[in-house]
Amino acid sequence: MMVESASETIRTTPSNQNGVSSLSSQSDGGGGREGGSNGDTNGEISPVDLLHLQQQQALQAARQFLLQQASGLNSPGSNEVKQSPVQVPVSMAMMSPQMITPQQMQQILSPPQLQALLQQQQALMLQQVKHTPILTHTRALWTQSQADKFRCIGSKQLAFQQQLIQMQQLQQQHILNLQRQGLVPLQPTAAMQSLQQGTSTHAFIHRTLTMQQSVTQTHLDKHACTHGQNCTHTQTHASEKYVCITISLLLFCVCLCLPSHEEHAGSHPLYGHGECKWPGCEALCEDMGQFIKHLNNEHALDDRSTAQCRVQMQVVQQLEIQLAKESERLQAMMTHLHMRPSEPKPYNQPLNLASSGSLLKRDSDAYPEGLPHPPTSAATPITPLRQGPSVISSSSLHTHSHSHTHAVGPIRRRNSDKYCTPIASELAQNCEFYKNADVRPPFTYASLIRHAILESPDRQLTLNEIYNWFTRKFAYFRRNTATWKNAVRHNLSLHKCFVRVENVKGAVWTVDEVEYQKRRPPKMTGSPTLVKNMISGLGFGSLNASYQAALAESSLSLLNSPPLVTPPSAASLNMLHVGHDDVSSTVEQVNSNGSCSPTLSPQQYSHPVHVKEEPTEVEEDSRPVSLLAGVTHSLPLPSDERDLEEDLPTEELE
């Protein structure tokens, strides 16, 4: 009955201004009459019990409605429900019915939905209670004398406020009675607090409902404990009146509040920046009203929306799984690095936290001063960690060991870039990591650009393609685009190793290997003895940067020979290849690891090896990458190692 009154309120047109005054009188008088008559006439079932049951039925009906809507079933016996384009969020419908609270319902359901819900509920309840004289009588009272006055409410908000005031008064009075009788604690209830503090209507509804449930339960408990012993009429009447009004008010509040999405203007999770955030939609909506209309029209409950919602759920699920895994990995890494337990960062923050374009200084954030910096030699693991980027544990830490006292400014990663980390193997082994994690790759822009170009089939890329490669390969480069794109352009222009070639489809960038090798700073020349000592004395995992540089610069040709590098020791090979940010240095390992990097045969990468004394002139049509000239090597290669040499990276022949 109260449901009906509320639903009738919804169906009314807002033209009748009489509804304002009639509402308060109606609620007060009708509810009072209801409570009184109920308490006087019902001998077996307490009105409180009945109303409690009614409320539960209402909630159950709402839940059932949601489920039916979600499953595409029309509500039986409700033409209006069938006619109205009811849209129920699938996620809502997928929830366990027990999880749906009235607050959630009134927040999630759109006005048509709630209207249909209430009507369905009304029909259901009428069926269930039509043989109850009290309810029938009350319903008759309600429908005959007041329903017409509700049809047109001119000012819902004003009526609602009056209703609230009245409700507050009744509530306070009722609670005082209950407190005097020891039925409820003396501290103010949440509902009263919300009333007094003027909290939101939604919170009020929820709290009121909760409180009403509690009070009703208290009555029921008391009723059960006393085994039918009479309660005082005062208590009974007040409680029943309160409960009746509460239910009617609740439904009224829900009805009134639902259309007022203005309260949530701009805060709808699917609406932002003037457009619909529904996956794949991005429809422009000027305001919330238009958005709601769009939402109901375009994203109603159908197969498509359901599928999209399920997809989104799976996305969220996957992200949560990924988040858990990454978090676990981070913890393991920090544990391994003896990082303080308090250091882990919140989930929702990227690993690197710098806000501005200073990319590299984020490493210092990732490794605060509390972190014991590993020594630059023995303790630094060189082998890329399978669980994460090797650069995090080695190069960055190494760099940080020199720069951790500087709070700002980019951290140079010369060692990591050129000596410690082979970019190809690093990217190969941590391809997915860099794709998903907001971690800056520990390579210079130049090396990354070079890698991108050499990775391309034609070894030439347009600027935009380079951009795309960055964003495709690294999650880090999906933001601060202006900064790193500027850096890319800057590097392309600055370094002579990048050659701009006019192509039929525009300008493309290629790599001049000669120039690229030239730009590398002179490093210590290796010697067989040094290499031998390093291999035998230090072990693969303990090569420091200098040794790695030496290896890279001078002696990798020896180390790279098949007897020393066998497939099971691919990681060791990486270690031996340290000192390269060179794509070609470890492409074999890249491919053998089955990484996501494009498969480039060693021949592709190393074919320039054959051209040892080629002039450095850069032809217009030639690919500068094929130019490798003037490279001297301190270790003369035996003639029979030429085949081996062909498999070597270009840098290894320096």
Q: Are 613 and 569 in contact (CB under 8 A)?
A: no
CB of 474 to DNA, least distance (A): 12
CB of 509 to DNA, least distance (A): 7
Which residue number, 268 or 520, has a Cβ lying nearer to DNA?
A: 520
CB of 637 to DNA, least distance (A): 27
Q: How many positions of this chain bind DNA (CB under 7 A)? A: 45
**One-letter amino acid of 380:** T
- Residue ranges in 322-361 that form contacts with DNA under rule CB under 7 A: 356-360
Q: Is residue 236 near DNA by the rule CB under 7 A? A: no
Which residue number, 301 or 446, has a Cβ lying nearer to DNA?
A: 446
Residue whose C-alpha is closest to residue 419's, from 380, 388, 466: 380
Q: Is residue 585 near DNA by the rule CB under 7 A? A: no
CB of 404 to DNA, least distance (A): 8
CB of 396 to DNA, least distance (A): 10
Q: Is residue 319 near DNA by the rule CB under 7 A? A: no
Cα within 13 Å of Cα(414), Cβ side: 10
CB of 364 to DNA, least distance (A): 8
- Candidates 53-61, 422-430, 490-498, 600-608; binding stretch for DNA (CB under 7 A): 490-498
Residues in the chain, overall count: 654
The whole-angstrom separation of Cα 532 and Cα 221 is: 86
- Residue ranges in 461-480 that form contacts with DNA under rule CB under 7 A: 462-464, 467
Determine which residue in the list 228, 457, 521, 636 makes contact with DNA, applying CB under 7 A: 521
Cα within 13 Å of Cα(127), Cβ side: 11
Q: Is residue 519 near DNA by the rule CB under 7 A? A: yes
**What secondary structure letter does DSSP report for 226?**
H
Residue 75 exposed, middle or buried by CB count within 10 Å (0-12, 13-18, 19+): buried
Which residue number, 491 or 589, has a Cβ lying nearer to DNA?
A: 491
- Candidates 122-130, 220-228, 379-387, 401-409; binding stretch for DNA (CB under 7 A): 401-409
Q: Tell whether the torsion through CA atoms of 461, 467, 471 and 474 is positive or negative.
A: positive
Residue appearing with tokens 């009056």 = 162
Q: Is residue 507 near DNA by the rule CB under 7 A? A: yes
Determine which residue in the list 151, 329, 414, 633 makes contact with DNA, applying CB under 7 A: 414
CB of 431 to DNA, least distance (A): 19
Residue appearing with tokens 């592709």 = 604
Residue whose C-alpha is closest to residue 463's, from 514, 505, 512, 428: 505
Q: Is residue 56 near DNA by the rule CB under 7 A? A: no
Q: Mind giving me the DSSP string for 9-61? A: HHHS-TT-TTHHHHHHHIIIIIHHHHHHHHHHH-SSS-HHHHHHHHHHHHHHH
Determine which residue in the list 160, 252, 367, 443 makes contact with DNA, applying CB under 7 A: 443
First-last CA distance in the chain: 90
Binding site for DNA (CB under 7 A): 356-360, 399, 402-403, 406, 408-415, 417-418, 443-446, 462-464, 467, 483-487, 489-494, 500, 506-507, 509, 519, 521, 545
